[in-house]
Amino acid sequence: MEVLRSILSCFSSRSRTRARAQSHHGLWSSGASDKNKSMVEQLQRYGVIRSTKVTEVMEAIDRGLFVPPGGTPYHDSPMPIGYNATISAPHMHAACLELLEKNLQPGMRALDVGSGTGYLTACFALMVGPEGRAVGVEHIPELVATSIENIKKSAAAPHLNDGSLSIHVADGREGWPELAPYDAIHVGAAAPQIPEALIEQLKPGGRMVIPVGTVFQELKVVDKKLDGTVGIRDETSVRYVPLTSKESQLHAR
């Protein structure tokens, strides 16, 4: 895990630099991949992806289906998706899937807060399978509609059709209590502090991955023990858009 922490620290720092410079080059700029499988192979070579299951899922769910036209979906960089939101860089999605893998086994329940264009929710659906539940919540209705159309084109479409995958318009800070508790919770925007509602919806034995902070942010791993007590540790420094209200997000500058 220390190796992963070091790699992610390097990746997140470089991604922030490129985002500020509005660069069109990814982390591996000279050999930037334009294919989903090549992107996954690069993440394997850098040691971000180690799990066979994460490899299979990220190869099956084509990131290109979830990035708006004109974007560079296979470059290791976050991409704007409209409404002052972004889709995270591939290395961050891979890292979160690795951190949550044991809580994304067949039959388990997963919640994706700030599901955006639906990419990670689709990955969750493949991991938990039709006997599990993958739930995305997003407070921008237009993104919810777009994400559903994206998923329909992807390998996760059967899960949308059978109801094991669903996307809902809701304030992610409140989670989705209707299907709680969850074995895995991922939050795709930075909260000033961990929302109590999400801790409550985490199943004993479950894990949440959430960026926390304002100016300085840390990706935190929240583990709820079987007795209900909660342990929290820092994984790596990150930079995410804020987890806030719909109104604040739409009017952010």
* CATH of residue 134: 3.40.50.150
Q: Is position 13 annotated as part of the catalytic site?
A: no
In a domain, 17, yes or no: no
Tell me what pLDDT residue 34 has: 59
Sorted by sequence, the CB contacts under 8 Å of residue 30 that are 6+ apart come out as none
Q: What is the spatial distance between Cα 199 and Cα 174, in angstroms, rounded to a whole number?
A: 10
In a domain, 16, yes or no: no
Output the six-digit token pair for 13.
Answer: 């720092």
Find the catalytic residue in 15, 88, 115, 166. 88
In a domain, 11, yes or no: no
Output the six-digit token pair for 85.
Answer: 């939101």
Q: What is the spatial distance between Cα 204 and Cα 212, in angstroms, rounded to a whole number?
A: 21
In a domain, 14, yes or no: no
What does pLDDT average to over the chain? 88
How many C-beta atoms lie closer than 10 Å to residue 155's C-beta?
17
Tell me what pLDDT residue 253 has: 64
Work out the average pLDDT over 177-201.
97
Q: What is the spatial distance between Cα 48 and Cα 7, in angstroms, rounded to a whole number?
A: 7
- Sequential DSSP letters for 190-221: BBSS--HHHHHHEEEEEEEEEEEESSSEEEEE
Tell me what pLDDT residue 53 has: 98
How many distinct structural domains can be found in the chain? Answer: 1
Output the six-digit token pair for 96.
Answer: 């979160």
Work out the average pLDDT over 205-218.
96
Model confidence, pTM: 0.86
Quote the domain boundaries for residue 230: 32-251
Query: Which of residues 174 and 6 earns the better pLDDT score?
Result: 174
Confidence class of residue 10 from pLDDT cuts 50, 70 and 90? very low
Please identify which residue in the block is written with the tokens 């000279």. Answer: 30
